[in-house]
Amino acid sequence: MPSISDKGNKMPASPIRKLVPFAEEAKRKNRKVFHLNIGQPDIRTPEVALEAIRNYKEKVIEYSHSAGIESYRRKLADYYKKIDIDIDYSEILITTGGSEAIMFALMSTVNPGEEIIIPEPFYANYNGFSTAAGVNVIPVTSSIKENFALPPISEFEKLITDKTRGIVICNPNNPTGYLYSRKEIETLGEIVRKYDLYLYSDEVYREFCYDGKEHYSVMNLKGLEENIIMMDSVSKRYSACGVRIGALISRNKSVINTALKFAQARLSPPSLGQVIGEAALNTPDSYFKEVYEEYIERRNFTVAALNKMEGVICPNPGGAFYTIAQLPVDDADIFCKWILSEFEYKNQTVMMAPASGFYSNPLHGKKQVRIAYVLKIEDLALAMETLEEALKVYPGREI
């Protein structure tokens, strides 16, 4: 039988999706499954975006420019200017989701065998994207005891070698919900300047910052125009995950021109997705105010419910709509399978993402899970009740 490639064998399974067969089996048993494993909000997509598709009049759905429809890029540049990020439309490349933006960024700037440093726990697919690009991930571990704050800069410096090409952050963070402060971003800027590295910033959760805290973009770091690469997406901001439209943004023309060659190879980003993305930029402020208040309520409820459970530790996230919780279990991977396949409470169960997949060393997340508070309060209440009952009877429970 022909063999599978080494790269294919090294590709990690998604901790967010790998338990789908267990959830499907639970549903076949007519159990209600509360999906807290994936960042798929139940928030409605803005009406202005949906109307753009309903009113689409073109008779042929054509390829767009490989960099994206120009009117969309110009309008997106105006959006960034309104939030004090001064960007020209030519410094924006539209991608097939934020995922492709990350892939293009890595493939354009890092050679196979070279390294990027990422604070962990990190978005699980950074592992997959890096494997696909032949890039080595070097983790610097943040602690749940410190609410997953940025590790000391000295810890980064210990890891820098002649193979280091850059530092990757997600702000606000997926999976922890941690919001990096301006001081932390400026500290990263100092080390990037000192060693002439790239700073890649995934800012797809920019609108979701809580408790009076404000988002500070890496694009506002002065004197680092050639070093900064930002990735963005419409998926979370407009609750439009299936649209699959993202963006790669950099003032470094060489990076954009190089990424464009990869973009040309895949021809163009989804044309209808760009129509939705462009229309979504007209979303009224009232939409974001309503969504913000909803997520604050969901966060407060979920974190409080988790911390009331015996043996559970859960920091209060400052942004996004995720939190990492430490559970009193022997192994979160085993527990997450068990709760789907062998447990039910009132004929319902819960799907979570084991945190082992968000660390470079799975042992660091052995007792942790990522929970996405993307369901309405009524469902979150039932999910938390179910989780609490499951923890009481789980055979591998530890106190």
285-308: pLDDT as tens digits: 999 999 999 999 999 999 999 999
**What's the pLDDT tens digit per position in 322-360?**
999 999 999 999 999 999 999 999 999 999 999 999 998
> For residue range 64-102, what is the model confidence (pLDDT) as tens digits?
999 999 999 999 999 999 999 999 999 999 999 999 999
**pLDDT score at 139:** 97
Question: What one-character DSSP code corresponds to residue 198?
Answer: E
What is the three-state SS of 17-44? CCCHHHHHHHHHCCCEEEECCCCCCCCC
pLDDT of 30 > 80? The answer is yes
In 309-397, which residue ranges form alpha helices assigned H by DSSP?
332-341, 377-393
Q: What is the pLDDT of residue 109?
A: 98
Distance CA(147)–CA(132), nearest Å, equals 31
pLDDT digits (tens, 9 = 90+) for 140-160: 999 999 999 999 999 999 999
Collapsing DSSP to helix, strand or coil, 243 comes out as helix
The pLDDT value given to residue 396: 93
pLDDT > 70 fraction of the chain, expressed in percent and rounded: 100
Starting from the edge strand earliest in sequence, which strands make up the sheet with 92-95, in order? 92-95, 246-249, 228-233, 198-202, 164-170, 115-120, 136-141
H or E element at residue 97: helix 97-109
Looking at residue 276, its pLDDT comes to: 98
Task: Please give the average per-residue pLDDT across 210-228, as a whole number.
Answer: 97
Mean pLDDT along residues 26-30: 96
Q: List, for residues 266-287, the tens digit of each pLDDT value.
A: 999 999 999 999 999 999 999 9
User: What pTM, to 2 d.p., does this model score?
Assistant: 0.95
Query: Residue 24, class by beta-carbon neighbours within 10 Å (0-12 exposed, 13-18 middle, 19+ buried)?
Result: exposed
What phi and psi, each to the nearest 5 degrees, are found at residue 79?
-60, -45
Report all structural domains of the chain as residue ranges with CATH numbers, in order of start: 6-44+286-393 (3.90.1150.10), 60-280 (3.40.640.10)
Q: Is 13 a residue whose pLDDT tops 90?
A: no
- For the chain, give the mean pLDDT: 96
258: helix, strand or coil: helix
At residue 12, the pLDDT reads 86
Rounded Cα distance between 394 and 332, Å, is: 11
Nearest-angstrom CA–CA distance, 111 and 93 = 21
